[in-house]
Structure 1
Amino acid sequence: MTSSTSGNTALNAERRTRDIAELSEAEASGAEAFDLVVIGGGITGVGVALDAASRGLSVVLIERGDLASGTSGWSSKLAHGGLRYLAKLDVPIAWESAVERGHLMSRIAPHLVHPVQMVLPLHTHVGHLDATLIGTGFLAGDALRMLARTPKSLLPRPHRISPAEVRRLAPSTTAAGLRGGLLSWDGQIVDDARLVVTMARTAAAHGAHIITYASATSVESGRVHVTDQLTGEPHAIRAKQIINAAGVWADTLSDDVELAPSKGSHLLVRAESMGNPTAAITAPVPDHFGRFVFAVPWDDGLVMIGLTDDPHDGRIPQRARPDADERTFLLDIINAVLEDPLSPEDVVGSYAGFRPLLKGKADSGADLSRKHALLRDPQTDLLTIVGGKLTAYRRMAEDAVDAAVEAAGLTAKPCRTTTLSLVGAGAPRPRLPEHLIRRYGTDAGVVAAYGADNSALNEPVRDGIPFSGAEIRFAVEHELALTVEDVIDRRTRWGLVDADRDDLAAAVRRHAPELIDATQLPENTHHNQDEG
């Protein structure tokens, strides 16, 4: 595993100011253009920045809002091994997923991507033939795991389990008609937004300039025009190659990009309402073989229920929620396998994200390809990377940087991201709090140190909110949180719990009075606009 600590990993307002000053100086002096400018601070854009910077290229990443404030922060938080693609006989995508999942869990971010048990209860509505086919698919997925060289000590082999074992792992599963279950394993991302932020910090350690709240207003060959959303000041950044990784907004920068966004909706319930499961429940969608709704336990006492996969027309909101039909669909599917059905009143929060799928011929988002594509704009020479999946971000980034290096004639080292670990990977020092280790890896020591002189900082900001003052300060001083919403929505996910959001925001303002509210920013950058 390659060390990622070759430079300063702290991202904060002071560093952002220095980076922008360096851009201004380069602009005024006519210094040599940067090798790459990356537009978009989601998993793909940050992955591109890390890949390029670790190859020795000079890189600037600009993001109009916060890191992971688009699709990357609203995922199901699963690093899938490609089982659903096997069901569609899309072996290349399944293989890519299995390989990239292995890289994430074994070498890149083992502190942020952990194994999760997945239980498919076998009730009467899962026929013997379907159970056999699904079980065969699980075994095929395990074969891909072995070929990808992900050890079975990390992801054990799937197997059938007894009704008693199903209910031990998922106590809310109904016993009526239960004849056992299929147990498999997959990767669970502790926090998708933290994965993106940690990757950005690692890219910064390799020299990348990570600048959030900077909007690309126009692109021309070799130059990006940018507005600093915090000051209103315009800047022009010269680059030998510009990469558009703006996700579902990529088509706003190039007329040659046509997207068919797919909406994925999720509900949150408290774990006790489902008997505090220790495994995810997999519920099949009737008449759609290979499609499932998952109920996945999170570390903080919540269970995520998701997801939908439906075409979306019209404006892409910065913050979306499930609509009434999507809520009903998710509850109906998961309730089919539960002893005590969940009601709408059990839902404590919700969110939705949009996948940037390439436009094609399909009746639903679930039918569109998850293949990624590189598109070159003949007018501006802008290189756009779209499509793909969160799990395969690294391969997407490698392909994009390879294309940029070839097109611009750049001198770059070979890609090294299959073995480049993110900051926080490694063995943490003894006696650190386990909940901090699971969120921050070796950085748990840095977080805990904030409480050395004030032990109150290590306590939750309020009973029932699993987030401390120390974590707030770490978010501000190391994770580039510039607004209150950056902290409550993307440095912790407890802002998704509607009843606690205001109290959490008040605690953030108390511990980090230097932060501004996102509502003070221009409309196109703040991320509390709801649609659902």
Structure 2
Amino acid sequence: MSVPTTALSAARRAGELAELRDRDTPVDLVVIGGGITGAGIALDAASRGLETVLLEAHDLAFGTSRWSSKLAHGGLRYLATGNIGIARRSAVERGIMLERTAPHLVRPLAQVVPVFRDTPPLGAVLPGLGFLAGTVLSRLAGTRADRLPGARILSAGKVARYVPGVRRRGLEFGHLNWDCQLIDDARLVTAVARTAAGHGARVITRARVLEATGTRVTVRDEFGGGGGESSDDDEFTISARAVVSATGVWAGQTTPGVRVRPSRGTHLVVRAAALGDPVGALTVPVPGETNRFCFALPAEFGRLHVGLTDVDAPGPVPDVPEATEDEIDFLLDVVNRALETGLTREDVLGTFAGLRPLVDSGDGNTADLSREHAVLTSDNGLITITGGKLTEYRLMAEQAVDLVVGRTGVAAGPCRTADLPLIGAPGHPEVARPTPVSGGGRLPASLVARYGQEAAAVVSESLLDRPLEKVADGLDVTRAEFSYAVTHEGALTVGDILDRRSRIGLVHTDRAAAEPTAREALAASPGSATPPPDPLPL
């Protein structure tokens, strides 16, 4: 079996760790953090020719980058607050993903705001005006109407076609807007990291940075040689010309003096059938607010994600944030205002919560804090990047690498990432000639939706028999995908497979049903040791 250069595996990880332990010369750049920002920096740097190492204490997308609303949005909210800069940049970056770098992972999404007879006059008008401004911004950003249609008014009947579960009593019309949705945020992180690996970056998970300066990091191998127990022998030092911390809400732990004010965003997981299997996102204004909405967003596996909150989350930062009872009640209350049959606690299959890494300005509610990112340099030379939005990850990475190049003088080419297809996208060299499926069978649409032009290779490279068989009843994920997660996507544990390479783990009963296949995939991979438990299993 030929392994493409983008493949991440336990064997590759072990080999690269051994090289770094024995190395006595500095690499060009060490990136701390395997979320979307860290992965983006690794890709930008490696594609410019920098020798790059990415270190992540847990797994790719373990933190905030897997807990978003899965939107690649055009910054519409920021127009309303007067932050035209973020809105414009978000619209440009959304267009780059949609049309060039990740069209296999980013899809147009209809957003519908129903207007009822009892909707206040301002609430009936403002969404339409905002959507119109968003359309103008989209066109100015270069996104064509055939890729992302413009806003318009819907009749009551057409609102119900998009969201069959909408309340019909008093429904007068609706506002329609088109934004973009990710097939999955953690899958985007994995694609970016693998593309970086294809350009030579060393992407090493379960490698915790214990201490960092601008030219040196002390690392502990958390995998412990595969046995799940690390020791002092697993600690070593890497020298670098520059070190960038992209640790999000943990930035203050890595870089003393950096102030991050986490804000918790919570989502509920419900069956899509509860809202009549909507084909668009139901968007419901939060009472008493002019610029906040709750959404019911279509998701994989016949689910909807209902979100989201914006709650101050001071105190120690947990590895896995949890939704509170008040947040669950709040989300149900808001979305039920627009539903024919309201959701109850019994409809909630699961929840997930993430922490936004907001740069602390010292005042204001978290909902009012800027979503701007910040690039800071500490006295010891460590560069820290935090804040920002997922949609702007590529731009944030470009700015961070520009700073590295300017400070170190290391030879580097220009930034290429605005036109660099991610693995699975049209134009990426590893998918130019995909391997046919054995026997000429048809690939499942869901597999193609997740892997793009890599889909046939996922099946042909499977180490499990019956590759197109589902991992469990009712779950539209194949056994081949679990195998590929281990052999090509760097999954080292059951949690990596179920909670990040797929989102099966969001519903506990589904997780239990799929776990035997995940263990089978780990056991089948050559070079995989006995996997340690997740730090905080879901």
1:205 and 2:198 aligned: yes
Map of 2:318 onto structure 1: 317
With 498-507 and 275-284 compared, the bigger mean Cα shift is at 498-507
Shift of 1:465: 2.1
Contact conserved, 2:464 with 2:479, CA < 8 A, in 1?
A: no
Which residue of 2 is the match for residue 470 of structure 1? 480
Please give the per-residue CA displacement for 1:4-26, whole angstroms capped at 9, x wherever unaligned: xx971101001101111110221
CA displacement at 1:322 relative to structure 2: 1.1
1:38 Cα deviation after fit: 0.2
CA offset at residue 528 of structure 1? 2.2
Question: Which residue of 2 is the match for residue 353 of structure 1?
Answer: 354
SS in 1 for 2:197: helix
What is the aligned counterpart of 2:13 among 13, 16, 19?
Answer: 16
What SS is found at the alignment partner of 2:171? coil
Aligned 8 A contact 1:69 1:527 in 2: no
Of 130, 134, 139, the match for 1:141: 134
Structure 2: stretches of 5+ with no match in the other structure: 225-229, 437-441
Instruction: Provide the rounded CA distance (Å) in 1 between the counterparts of 2:504 and 2:142.
Output: 35
Q: Give the match for residue 437 of structure 1.
A: 448
Q: Which residue of 2 aligns with 1:62?
A: 55
Is structure 2 residue 514 aligned with structure 1 residue 504?
yes
Q: Deviations over 1:364-385 (max 9, x none)?
A: 221110001111111x200000
SS in 1 for 2:279: coil
Partner of 1:406: 406
Matches of 2:48 and 2:118, distance apart in 1 = 52
Displacement of 1:220 after TM fit?
3.0
For residue 462 of structure 1, give the secondary structure of its aligned residue in structure 2.
coil
State yes or no: 1:495 paired with 2:505: yes
Q: Report SS of the residue matched to 2:220.
A: strand
1:481 aligns to what? Answer: 491
Paired positions, count: 514
- CA change 1:486–1:123 in 2 (3 A) is same
2: CA distance between counterparts of 1:89 and 1:362? 18
Give the whole-Å Cα distance in 2 for the aligned partners of 1:477 and 1:367: 43
Match in the other structure for 1:243? 244
Q: What's the offset of the Cα at 1:256?
A: 1.7
Structural mapping, 1:321-400, within 5 Å: 321-378=322-379, 380-400=380-400
Q: Is the 8 A contact 1:309 1:364 kept in 2?
A: no
Per-residue deviation, 1:324: 0.3
Distance in 1 (CA, whole Å) between partners of 2:495 and 2:294 is 29
Q: What is the deviation of 1:457?
A: 2.3
The alignment's C-alpha RMSD in Å is 1.8
Question: What residue in structure 2 maps to residue 101 of structure 1?
Answer: 94
CA distance in 2, matches of 1:499, 1:433: 23
Match in the other structure for 1:129: 122
Write out per-residue CA displacement over residues 305-332 of structure 1, whole angstroms, 9 at most, x where no aligned residue: 0100111011221122211000000000
Measured after TM superposition, the shift of residue 221 of structure 1 is: 4.0
1:262 Cα deviation from its structure 2 partner: 0.5
CA pair 453-221 structure 1, distance change in 2 beyond 3 A: closer
Q: For 1:334 and 1:13, how far apart are their aligned partners in 2?
A: 43
Please say if 1:278 is aligned against 2:253. no
Is the Cα–Cα contact under 8 Å of residues 372 and 388 in structure 1 kept in the other structure? Answer: yes
Provide the C-alpha distance between the structure 1 equivalents of 2:191 and 2:479, rounded to a whole number of angstroms.
19
Secondary structure class of the residue paired with 2:418: coil
Q: What's the CA shift for 1:499? A: 2.0
The whole-number CA distance in structure 2 between the counterparts of 1:275 and 1:405 is 52
What TM-score, normalized to structure 2? 0.93
User: How much has 1:450 moved relative to structure 2?
Assistant: 4.6
Distance 1:240 1:169, change over 3 A: same
- The Cα shift of 1:287 comes to 0.9
For residue 356 of structure 1, give the secondary structure of its aligned residue in structure 2: strand
The Cα shift of 1:123 comes to 1.3
Aligned mate of 1:190, from 179, 183, 192: 183
Secondary structure of the corresponding residue to residue 363 of structure 1: coil
Asked if the contact 1:171/1:277 (under 8 Å) is kept, the reply is yes
Q: Which moved more, 1:137-146 or 1:334-343?
A: 137-146
How far apart are the structure 1 equivalents of 2:377 and 2:84? 27
Closer/same/farther in 2, CA of residues 404 and 453 from structure 1, 3 Å limit: closer
What corresponds to 2:419 in structure 1?
A: 419
- Contact 1:244–1:385 (8 Å) recurs in 2: yes
How far apart are residue 452 of structure 1 and its match? Answer: 9.9
Which one is further off, 220-229 or 422-431?
Answer: 422-431
* Identical residues among aligned pairs (%): 47
Aligned to 2:458: 447
Give, as a single letter, the amino acid of the residue that structure 2 aligns with 1:248: V
Alignment-mate amino acid for residue 329 of structure 1: F
Contact 1:156/1:185 (8 A) holds in 2: yes
Corresponding residue for residue 3 of structure 1: none
SS at match of 1:457: coil
In 1, Cα distance between equivalents of 2:327 and 2:78:
23
The one-letter code of the counterpart of 2:471 is V
| Deviation string, structure 1 residues 145-201 (Cα, Å, up to 9, x no partner) | 001101111110010010000111100000111001011111100011110011100
**Aligned residue in 1 for 2:535:** 526
Read off the aligned partner of 1:343 and give its amino acid letter. Answer: T
- TM-score, normalising length from structure 1? 0.94
SS at match of 2:189: helix
Aligned 8 A contact 1:451 1:458 in 2 = no
- Which residue is equivalent to 2:265? 264
Q: Distance in 2 between matches of 1:289 and 1:296?
A: 21
Structure 1 partner of 2:158: 165
The CA deviation at 1:446 is: 1.1
The C-alpha deviation readout for 1:415-438, integer Å capped at 9, x for no partner, is: 011111101001886943221110
Question: What amino acid does structure 2 have at the position aligned with 1:495?
Answer: G
Task: List per-residue Cα deviations over 1:182-227 (Å, max 9, x = no partner).
Answer: 1111110001111001110000000100000000001134110000
Q: In the aligned structure 2, how far is the partner of 1:271 from the partner of 1:8?
A: 38
> Which residue number corresponds to residue 227 of structure 2?
none
CA contact (8 A) 2:214 2:383 kept: no
| Distance verdict in 2 for CA 1:501–1:299, change over 3 Å | closer
Is 1:76 paired with 2:66? no
Could you tell me which of 30, 39, 61 is aligned with 1:46? 39
1:300 maps to 301
Counterpart secondary structure, 1:466: coil
Q: Could you list the per-position Cα deviations for residues 247-267 of structure 1 after superposition, in whole angstroms to 9, with x for gaps in the alignment?
A: 111111111201100100000
Paired AA for residue 96 in structure 1: R
**How many Å separate the matches in 1 of 2:490 and 2:336?**
40
1:453 to partner: Cα distance: 8.7
Q: Deviations over 1:463-491 (max 9, x none)?
A: 11222211110000000000110000001
What letter matches 2:270 in structure 1? V
Change (3 A) 1:21 1:255: same
Tell me how far apart the structure 1 counterparts of residues 215 and 116 of structure 2 sit (CA, whole Å).
59
Q: Which amino acid aligns with 2:79?
A: L
Q: Which residues of structure 1 form unaligned runs of 5+?
A: 1-5
Q: Name the CA distance, whole Å, in 1 between partners of 2:473 and 2:204.
A: 35
Deviations 1:15-68 (A, max 9, x none): 101111110221xxx23x111000000000000000000001110000000000
2:254 alignment counterpart? 253
| AA at the equivalent of 1:76 | S
